[in-house]
Chain A
Amino acid sequence: MLKMLKLKRFGIHLFLLLILIFHIYNIRNELFNNKVEESWYLNAQNKFSSMIKSNESLNVESIVFDPELYALAGWLYIHGVPPSEFNFEHPPLAKFFIGFSEVLFQSPTSMNALFSLATLIVIYLISIKLFGKTVFALIPVYMLSLEKLFLSESRSSMLDIYSMFFISLSVLIFLYTIKNPKLFPILSIIVGLGIACKWESGLIIFAFIAFFLLEKDWRKLSYFIASLPLAFLVYTSSYITYFLNGHNFF
């Protein structure tokens, strides 16, 4: 019986590994081969400047697409440019990740690809928590790995894969927090990291609050709300280069 159980678990892990290998195969170019030279950033910066200047007579050559914009923002942030100077529209953390990717792997997309892989693992862990260690825990991972939107976000230097990762991770931690309130500070830190990537990530807070309201678990609700300043602190910390350049929060 024990042998059968072990064999079943081995089979599940093997399938998970196959799904992850298939995902790596799908994103292999963005993970390993999408290297860009320093001159690319200078060109992108020039292109962006000309787009701003020639706002009225916009042509196809001068259009800067979001992935290029975030790749350039990441490069600038990691080289000390404060977030207020370039692409202030979204919080800086995800662009810092892109910047790290550019420095570590010489590619703006490697970190996105790695985060997509991490997201699949987090979804698997959520599935185990909800469905138990059964074959059904593999289905969400399989389904997500085949989503075209998920794949395209894994392959380009967009910000959404980071917010998706932190939202999913916060849900996973939340499922543990239901039974162990000591994890509330960790939950808030992860929520803060998500908001520091994109503001929309903060919407998950409503789901957590609604959960406790439905449960009428006022004690846990108050713990959660009391831990939320940590999320604010994490969010503020993502602007560290901004503060180091002598700016204040507003």
Chain B
Amino acid sequence: MQLSIYKFHSSFPHQEGALKIWFLLLAGVIGPETHTTFVIDEESGEIIKVIVTKGLAITYSFNPLTWTISIFAISICLLKTFKLIKEFRILPLWFLSFMIPMSSSLILEYHILNFMPSFILSISYVLKDGWVKGEENKTQKNIVLIAIAIYLIALMVWRYIRIPSFIAL
């Protein structure tokens, strides 16, 4: 039965999904999509016009405030903590251990959930690092505090913003 599970998962067209996870994570793009609109005459019931719109399908759960900056936060975390604080190494390794294998397979948005805490914790690390650096100067400290507050409020606001599921190109 384990072989059946393996066969099921390997039956998906892997080439089609290559690097798809990166588009999904950084831009919320699921993939290209075509919308076809049929304009029907109400009296005769005949199709009088067909409008084909090409565009991109966007995931409803996309969050540019965390998903898009994930790679930057992970990179900063990687560079800053790799030699100094060994516990933090697990965050970029957690992210990469999922992203590298998933880069070559067909991925759906819910797969992001498995490594979401890694980039959320990395973003928090970047915020904390900014705060610690700002402590040397009072003005700088206030600026960092305001920036963090704005970011956290923006996250709350984004939670209630509905993004379109399709963007025409």
List chain A positions with a Cβ less than 8 A from chain B: 83-84, 88-91, 123, 126-127, 129-131, 134, 136, 139-140, 142-144, 146-150, 152-153, 158, 160-161, 163-164, 167-168, 171, 174-175, 178, 199-201, 203-208, 210-211, 214-215, 239, 242, 247, 249-250
Q: Is the CB of A127 within 8 A of B121?
A: yes
Q: Smallest distance from the beta carbon of A238 to chain B beta carbons, Å?
A: 12
CA distance A158 to B168 in the complex (A): 30
- Given A89-B5, A91-B5: A148 and B114 within 8 A (CB)? no
Contact partners of A208 in chain B: CB under 8 A: 93
Q: Smallest distance from the beta carbon of B3 to chain A beta carbons, Å?
A: 6
Contact partners of B121 in chain A: CB under 8 A: 123, 126-127, 130, 140
Q: Is the CB of A210 within 8 A of B116?
A: no
Q: Is the CB of A207 within 8 A of B96?
A: yes
Among B9, B60, B109, B120, the residue within 8 A (CB) of A199 is B9
Interface hits, B47-101 → A, CB 8 Å: 59-63, 66, 86-90, 93-94, 96-98, 101
CA distance A174 to B113 in the complex (A): 19
- Given A129-B87, A203-B114: A147 and B63 within 8 A (CB)? yes
Contact partners of A215 in chain B: CB under 8 A: 86
Q: Is the CB of B116 within 8 A of A146?
A: no
Q: Is the CB of B109 within 8 A of A242?
A: no
Among A142, A146, A167, A211, the residue within 8 A (CB) of B114 is A167
CA distance A150 to B61 in the complex (A): 9
Q: Is the CB of A143 within 8 A of B113?
A: no
For B89, the closest partner residue in chain A by CB is A211
Q: List 26 A-B contacts (CB under 8 A).
A: A89-B8, A90-B5, A126-B121, A130-B87, A136-B131, A139-B124, A140-B117, A140-B121, A140-B124, A142-B155, A147-B120, A148-B60, A149-B109, A149-B112, A149-B113, A158-B110, A160-B110, A160-B114, A161-B113, A168-B117, A200-B111, A201-B114, A203-B98, A205-B97, A207-B97, A211-B93
The proximity string for B residues 104-134 relative to A, scoring 1 for CB distances below 8 Å and 0 otherwise, is 0000011111111100110111011001000
CA distance A238 to B45 in the complex (A): 56
Q: A123-B117, A146-B159, A149-B61 given; name 7 further pairs at CB < 8 Å.
A: A130-B87, A146-B158, A148-B60, A149-B59, A167-B114, A201-B114, A204-B98
Contact partners of B123 in chain A: CB under 8 A: 143
Q: Smallest distance from the beta carbon of B112 to chain A beta carbons, Å?
A: 6
Asked if B156 is an interface residue, CB under 8 A from chain A, the answer is yes
- Given A136-B127, A150-B116, A206-B97: A84 and B89 within 8 A (CB)? no
List chain B positions with a Cβ less than 8 A from chain A: 1-5, 8-9, 59-63, 66, 86-90, 93-94, 96-98, 101, 109-117, 120-121, 123-125, 127-128, 131, 152, 155-156, 158-159
Q: Smallest distance from the beta carbon of B92 to chain A beta carbons, Å?
A: 9
Contact partners of B93 in chain A: CB under 8 A: 206-208, 210-211
Q: Smallest distance from the beta carbon of A22 to chain B beta carbons, Å?
A: 10
CA distance A158 to B5 in the complex (A): 18
Q: Is the CB of B114 within 8 A of A164?
A: yes
Among A136, A158, A199, A214, the residue within 8 A (CB) of B89 is A214
CA distance A129 to B2 in the complex (A): 37
